[in-house]
Amino acid sequence: MALIKHGKLADNIWHDTDEFAELQALAPLGPVIVDLDIWRQHRDEILAQIARIGGRIGLRLTPGQTPDLVAADLDHFELIELQFAKFTDGRAYSQARLLRGRHGFKSELRASGDILRDQLTFMLRCGFDSFLVATDHQAEAILEAVEEFAHWYQPALDQGATIPALRRRIHGAAGASTADCAAAWAY
C-alpha cells in the first residue's frame, strides 16, 4: 500500500483493526483506526485508555454511515477514513463534504479503496487530504492528475476561486453590459 498525504508520498503510521481486543494490543504501537461498531461499543473505554496512557484514535466509516452519527464525537478523531469500495460508488464524496463543511472536521480525511487517478481532483475538492492506494506506481500516476484543471465552476472545499467568482472580479457587479451581450433583462 502507498499513502499520499497533502500531495506527497508519505508513510502510513496508522494501524487498523476490527476488534477491540486487538486495539488494546495495537495502541502502544501507535495510532489506531477503528470502525463505527467498535467506537460505539467501547467509546468510554477507548477514551479512558487514551486519558490514561495516551494514544491517537481514528475512525473508519462505511459508505452507508452518515457522518451525522458521530457529529458530537468528531473532536476525538485525528483521522477519518472513508471508503470507495468501487470507484463508481460516490457516497463518500457526500460524506466528506458533510464532515468538512457541515461538521467542521479539521483533521486528516483519508480515502481508501478503489481510487483512480481520474477521481483524485473530485476527492480533493470534497475535502479529502490523504489517499491510500495499492502501489507506489499508482500513487505517482495519481499525483500527476492534480494539475489538470486550473479552475472549476462550482464552489466546493478546495481553496481556489470558482469561475463565477473570477468572472465577478473581472466584470464587477455591472458585468452584464459587455458589447457581446448588451441587452436589457428585466424581471
Partner 1 sequence: MYRYDEFDHAFVAERVEQFRGQVARRIAGELTEDAFKPLRLMNGLYLQLHAYMLRVAIPYGTLSARQMRKLAYIARTHDRGYGHFTTRQNIQFNWPKLDDVPTILDELADVEMHAIQTSGNCIRNTTADPLAGVAADEIDDPRVYAEIIRQWSTLHPEFSFLPRKFKIAVTGSPNDRAVTRGHDIGLRMHRDLQGRPGFEVMVGGGQGRTPIMAKTIRNFLPVDHLLSYLEAVLRVYNQLGRRDNIYKARIKILVQSEGAEKFAELVEAEWLQIRDNAVDLPMEERDRIAAYFAPPRYDDLPDVCPALDLAIAADRRFAAWVESNVVAHKQPGYAIATISLKPHGGIPGDASADQMDAVATLSEKFGFGELRVSYKQNLILPDVAKADLLALWRALDGLDLGTANAGRISDIIACPGLDYCNLANARSIPIAQRISERFTDLQRERDIGDISLNISGCINACAHHHVANIGILGVNKNGTEFYQVTLGGVATEDAAVGAIIGPAFDEWQIADAVEDIVDVYLHQRQTDETFIETYQRIGPQPFKETLYGTDQARQAG
Least distance CB 33 / partner 1 (angstroms): 22
Minimum distance of partner 1 from residue 112's CB (angstroms): 16
Number of shown-chain residues binding partner 1 (CB under 8 A): 48
- 15-16 sheet: strands from edge to edge: 8-10, 2-5, 130-133, 108-113, 77-84, 57-61, 32-35, 15-16
Q: Which is nearer to partner 1, 48 or 69 (CB)?
A: 69
Q: By three-state DSSP, how is residue 40 classified?
A: helix
Taking CB under 8 A as the rule, does residue 48 contact partner 1? Answer: no
Q: How far is the CB of 185 from partner 1 (least distance, A)?
A: 4
Chain position carrying cell 500500500: 1
What's the closest the beta carbon of residue 52 comes to partner 1, in angstroms? 37
Cβ neighbours of residue 84 under 8 Å, at least 6 residues apart? 63, 92, 111, 112, 113, 114, 115, 119
Nearer to partner 1 (CB atom), residue 51 or residue 181 = 181
Residue 118 touches partner 1, criterion: CB under 8 A: yes
Q: Which of 11, 52, 153, 169 binds partner 1 (CB under 8 A)?
A: 153
51 binds partner 1 (CB under 8 A): no
- List, in order, residues 6 or more apart from 4 with CB less than 8 Å away: 10, 130, 131, 133, 139, 142, 143
Q: Does 137 bind partner 1 (CB under 8 A)?
A: no
